[in-house]
Structures are given as C-alpha cells and as structure tokens.
Structure 1
Amino acid sequence: MSLDSNEAIVVEPDTKATACVIWLHGLGDSGAGFAPVVPMLGLPQDHSVRFIFPHAPEQPVTINGGAVMRSWYDIKSMNLLERADLDGVKQSELKVKRFIESQMDSGIQSENIILAGFSQGGVLSLFTGLRLPYKLAGIMALSCYLPAGDKLPEGINEVNKDTPVLQHHGQQDPVVPVDAGKMANTALINAGYLAEWKSYPMPHSVLPQQLAEIGQWLSKQLNV
C-alpha cells in the first residue's frame, strides 16, 4: 500500500498488513512527529499492523498570531468551549475518512482499523470516530478534548457505541488542561461508551511507559 509522502508517513509491517493504525499529530507537528514511536510500542515482531501518520494541512492559526503551520483546524481561543473551529474540524474529518476508506479499499476491514491522535489529532480522532458509519477496532485520544467541551458531537453514529476508547492525559498539561480531557471522558461514559481513562505525571507529551501500555492496548484490540 503506497501513499504520497506529501500526505502521510507510512510504516509497513514485515508481513502483509491485515490491520491499520491511523495516528494524527498535534498542532504544528507533522506525521514525522509520531512515526518513530512504532518500535517503542513493543508489538510482536511478526505483527501485521500498518501505521499511517498523516500530515495536517498548513493554515493560519489564530491563537498563534495567524502564523501558518500544520493544523487540523484553526484554534480561535484558549477557552475550551470556543477553542475548535468546527468547520475546520469537519473539513479534516473528510480527509481522515479518506485515509480510512483507502485502507478498506485495500482489503483491511474497518473492524481492524484504529483511529488515534494526540492533542488536535486526538480531538479529530474522537470527533471522526464517533460519527463514522462503520465499525472501528478502537479509538485512541491522547491529551485532548471534545470540540464542544462537555458535549459529544452532533451526528453521532451508534455503530461504534461499544468500540473501546482509550484516553490518556498528562496531569501537568499546560496546553490542554487535564480537566478538559476528563470532561470528555465523563461525557463519553455518561453516553454509554467504553471509554478507558488514565492520567500520567507528565506535561503535554507522551512517556515511554505510556507507549508500552498503548502497544498492549493496540495488540488487544487488533489481536496481534
């Protein structure tokens, strides 16, 4: 499976891919930011998981003085309830759906695809995953929030109601307060989703121990 390097970084397994993780980066980063974590996940050597790390489009970001950078959507305010530009979120949702559907077209069933993301990418993984019309293996949302703060997105599709959702957050996160992540978790739990929450003694980042635990979770959901 080949994707244009301008679209994403793809890390192929040694064997034929039968599952896929699509991992979305945060504001100002690129697919290259998380691509190096694959060996740190501790997956079996003979795993069959393709990892795709898409690049967000470049666009002006209001809170950064209009500077142009890779961003899945504009951030207009640090106020959680007004932070995410919903039109931009929906535009990026279409891009993410195309990545998912390209994997389905290549022969990987949607039930063997995990949608993951960090920060902005996590916001998008939650938003897109909850609205998808087809079943996923899991949704991973790291150090992020819901676009509407304390409410689930409109247009939710029930097909992923029992899909495992993994949420991790740093207890000392100065960018996305841990309370914002917990608020999203509460909204998911109250709506009946299988949302697993864990916080770590870290800022807006990931830890080696956390990556190992993520690897175990991925292995469980994808049966590798």
Structure 2
Amino acid sequence: MLDTVINETGTDPQWAVLWLHGLGADGHDFAPIVPELLRPHWPAIRFVFPHAPVQPITINNGLPMRAWYDIVSMDFRSRADAAGVDASVQLLDALIEQQVAAGIPAERILLAGFSQGGAVILSAMLRRTRPLAGVIALSTYLPDPENAVARRAPEGIQPPVFMAHGTQDPVIPQAIGAHSAQTLKDLGIAVEWHSYPMAHQVCSEELQALGDWLDRRFQAA
C-alpha cells in the first residue's frame, strides 16, 4: 500500500477525496489547498494524498523521481507508459478499497489528480464497475484515449467530472486536455470544463469553481 498524507476536516468523516500529485512532487504538494477549498457547511471529509513510487523517467534522462508512470515520448499519443498507468490504476483501486473497508462507501469517494495524477484517475474511472461520487482532473489528459475507451467497463457507471486547464500550459497544452474532455463527453459522461489564463498550475478562481462543483455533489447526496 502507498504511503499517504491524511487530512481529516472533522470527526468520523463520511466522505473521502483521494488526490494524486503530478510528476516529481509528492503527497504533500496539494495538502495545503484543503483550507482554501473547504466550506463551513460541508460534511467531514478525509483527504488522502498518496506518494507515487520513485522510478526513472525516460524523457528526464532516466532520473529517478516520484511518478505514476514513465514518460517515454513527447508525443501525447504514446508518451505515457501503458504498463505504468495500469500499475498506478491498481494502486488507486487498492486505496479506494481501503477507504471502503474503513466505512466510507464508494458512492462518497471522489478521485482528484493533477497532471500525471489526473491521467491516472481518468484512466481508472473508465475501468470501474462501481460508482464513485465524482472525478476532479486538473491540467491533465486521458492517455491513449482510443485504448482507454476500448477498455471501458461496459457495465460501468461513470461519475460527473470536473476538468480545468490553463490556456498557457507549456507541459500539457490545453488543446490536449480539451480533446480528452470531449472524448469523455462523447461517451455520455457529464464533464464540467473550465479554462483559465495560467500555465501548468492551479489558481484561486479554479479552486472557487471546484468548491462550487463539490458543493453540488454534497447537496445531491
């Protein structure tokens, strides 16, 4: 099981957010945003920020760093190591089951991810057969979309998705993220898309919109 950073916003949380970081970061990267995101009337939430395994990254001359998969090419059609994505999806599934065993039903678990982490959660979402509360994909894309769609669980119930991207993102161009969003929409998945004048990062306006989206998820339950 992955090492994680845990932040519980109240006693006996009945909701969980599993948040995957980007390349070269770790589970501490997004933990500081929790106070900015929270709203007083929300239920108690367990935020789980796992640390990705350390592995060599091909495009960084084999330099080892925390990563959810190897990046083998600059071409977005083949840049993500498929075996690495699969392995991280399995790790994420184990984290989900850990929360279910701890008493939080899958219907009250949200997946969140930035960049590489977002690529993993989008891949995982399409393969699930059990419902989730929602998916948050920030500055990211769906790796190998044709294969991802082909591997979609036929009986799967895909949750609503919040996606946000920067217009000036030099790491993952916004057009790549927008294409992924359209791919999901074409599958009938409810995707809320947001675009901001920023680079490969998160901004306060984005967190405000995400908070509004989360508010609707909690109210719907």
Equivalent of 1:100, from 67, 74, 96? 96
Equivalent of 2:160, from 160, 164, 176? 164
What CA deviation, in whole Å up to 9, does each residue of 1:33-62 have, x standing for no partner? Answer: 000000010322663111000110000000
TM-fit CA distance, 1:14:
1.9
Greater alpha carbon shift after TM alignment, 213-222 vs 67-76 = 213-222
Matches within 5 A, 1:57-72: 57-72=53-68
Q: State the TM-score, normalizing by the size of structure 2.
A: 0.94
Matches within 5 A, 1:33-52: 33-44=29-40, 47-52=43-48
TM-fit CA distance, 1:153:
3.8
2:119·2:143 contact (CA, 8 Å) conserved in 1? yes
Equivalent of 1:217, from 208, 213, 220? 213
Equivalent of 2:202, from 201, 206, 216? 206
1:80·1:149 contact (CA, 8 Å) conserved in 2? no
Structure 1: distance between partners of 2:203 and 2:107: 28
RMSD of aligned residue pairs (Cα, Å): 1.6
1:172·1:204 contact (CA, 8 Å) conserved in 2? yes
1:16 aligns with 2:12: yes
TM-fit CA distance, 1:151:
6.0
**Distance 1:30-1:64 versus aligned 2 partners, 3 A rule:** same
Where structure 2 has 5 or more consecutive residues not aligned to the other structure, the ranges are none
2:10·2:45 contact (CA, 8 Å) conserved in 1? no
1:178 aligns with 2:174: yes
Matches within 5 A, 1:181-200: 181-200=177-196
Greater alpha carbon shift after TM alignment, 213-222 vs 147-156 = 147-156
Structure 2: distance between partners of 1:206 and 1:35: 13
- What is the letter of the counterpart of residue 58 of structure 1? V
> SS in structure 2 opposite 1:81?
coil
1:59·1:69 contact (CA, 8 Å) conserved in 2? yes
Q: State the TM-score, normalizing by the size of structure 1.
A: 0.93
TM-fit CA distance, 1:222:
2.9
Q: Which residue of 2 aligns with 1:53?
A: 49
Q: Which residue of 1 aligns with 2:125?
A: 129
Matched-pair identity in %: 44
1:10·1:53 contact (CA, 8 Å) conserved in 2? yes
Q: Which residue of 2 aligns with 1:140?
A: 136
> SS in structure 1 opposite 2:55?
strand
Equivalent of 1:73, from 69, 74, 97? 69
Aligned length: 219
